[in-house]
């Protein structure tokens, strides 16, 4: 989804945007045409919801990173809850309220987490939605960083997990996505791959 301005930009608290971003971090108002109903998710509800959450959270984390955390705190995130609901509705999520709660939780967790703040904070080199292409394929990396510790390629995952065994769950998610991140690392000349899980304040990295 491209970043799109709100129908009523007076509701936005943001100033002029950078890098082509529109008002309110791409959060859009509900359609004015009553016939423009949200998509029916049917049997693919979980997958569709995951895709919508991945896209919404990645765009918002990108905006926070571009702001280098400046002006972002739990209070600001909470004030944008209704805008998150509208955005998710437009993405086809019927129960946008509970989904927006996950977005709010993910952003608050990230802002309260030392690793999350490092990830989104300033670095000598920091790129969002970094795009690369080689002879075989193209890549889009959520966050690319160069600092005193070296080069990093980081992917955001909106994975949820309830109950115990969080470490085992994160290890399984790492195994699931390792080939994807290894390809990113190779494409960037040997960056260190890592995954950040905003809902769990989780982090997995490997050589």
Q: What is the reported pTM?
A: 0.77
The angle at the Cα of 119, spanning 49 to 162, to the nearest 5 degrees, equals 40
Tokens 């995954």 found at: 195
Q: How confident is the model over 174-184, as pLDDT tens digits?
A: 999 999 999 99
Strand 202-205 relative to strand 125-133, pairing: unpaired
Of 83, 112, 141, the position where a domain reaches its end is 112
Residue 92 carries which DSSP code? T
Whether residues 91 and 132 share a domain: the answer is: no
Q: Provide the CATH number for the domain around residue 171.
A: 3.90.320.10
Tokens 């000598």 found at: 124
Range of the domain at 201: 123-205
Note the residue count of the chain. 207
Q: How confident is the model over 119-174, as pLDDT tens digits?
A: 999 999 999 999 998 788 898 999 999 999 999 999 999 888 877 899 999 999 99
Report the chain's C-alpha Rg in angstroms.
Answer: 17
Within 10 angstroms of residue 43's Cβ, the number of other Cβ atoms is: 7
Listed range (18-22, 41-45, 158-162) with the worst mean pLDDT: 18-22
d(CA 148, CA 127): 16
d(CA 205, CA 174): 8
Residue 34: pLDDT band by 50, 70, 90 thresholds? very low
């Amino acid at each position: 989804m491209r970043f799109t301005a709100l129908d009523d930009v007076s509701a936005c608290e943001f100033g002029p945007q950078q890098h082509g971003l529109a008002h309110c971090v791409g959060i859009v108002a509900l359609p004015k045409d009553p016939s423009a109903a949200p998509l029916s998710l049917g049997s693919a509800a979980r997958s569709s919801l995951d895709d919508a959450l991945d896209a919404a959270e990645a765009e918002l984390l990108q905006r926070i990173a571009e702001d280098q955390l400046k002006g972002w705190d739990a209070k600001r995130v909470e004030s944008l809850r209704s805008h998150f609901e509208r955005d998710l509705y437009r993405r086809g999520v019927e129960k946008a309220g509970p989904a927006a709660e996950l977005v709010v939780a993910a952003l608050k967790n990230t802002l309260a987490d030392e690793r999350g703040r490092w990830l989104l904070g300033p670095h000598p080199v920091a790129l969002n939605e970094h795009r690369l292409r080689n002879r075989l394929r193209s890549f889009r990396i959520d966050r690319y960083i160069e600092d005193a510790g070296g080069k990093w390629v980081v992917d955001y995952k909106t994975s949820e997990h309830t109950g115990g065994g969080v470490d085992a769950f994160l290890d399984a998610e790492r195994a699931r996505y390792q080939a994807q991140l290894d390809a990113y690392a190779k494409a960037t000349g040997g960056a260190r791959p890592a995954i950040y899980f905003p809902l769990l304040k989780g982090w997995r990295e490997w050589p």
